[in-house]
Chain A
Amino acid sequence: EAQVTQNPRYLITVTGKKLTVTCSQNMNHEYMSWYRQDPGLGLRQIYYSMNVEVTDKGDVPEGYKVSRKEKRNFPLILESPSPNQTSLYFCASSLSWSRSYNEQFFGPGTRLTVL
């Protein structure tokens, strides 16, 4: 089954404790992206990757890191989480980034709480 998976689905942590949220897709997609969803703000892009070893900042990259060493995986790293990073996070992927392939497939989300 074609899908985007994220782990963990739920995480409660404390300020300053490094964490990684994994994202994996099995569709051989080139483009991958991370979003956070907050009430009243919709979905805001954190980082994106056009292909392996190619990443770039989105609208709200502060406090986050990413890497794209393999095509299928795009982990989101919070080196020192803070309470303002409490949010619902989505990973997404699409075949490529062109006029023809704008549809992004989303993972089920990761609910992160930073105390």
Chain B
Amino acid sequence: AQSVSQHNHHVILSEAASLELGCNYSYGGTVNLFWYVQYPGQHLQLLLKYFSGDPLVKGIKGFEAEFIKSKFSFNLRKPSVQWSDTAEYFCAVMTTDSWGKLQFGAGTQVVVTP
């Protein structure tokens, strides 16, 4: 069965620290990859997506993610976090045989302290 794994459930870091959230998926075919963010009390918002081309994808708010096909990974990074980055982050995968359905990881709660 296909699965999406996010390595950390909870991350606490200080402002200006660098952030990296891991995401691995199990699917051997072509995938589209997404990172969504959910700020407290708000709906899920798309941070960035990868469909094809350059495996290093830049998203909003200074986030980027790198697709490494050989490692089945799509890790999210930000060089210097801010307090406003406190949120829950979800990795999601859409496979070519899933008719556009997204499979989500369990999410990572990120808390940035001032």
Q: Do A and B bind each other?
A: no
Interface set of A (CB-CB < 8 Å, partner B): none
Interface set of B (CB-CB < 8 Å, partner A): none
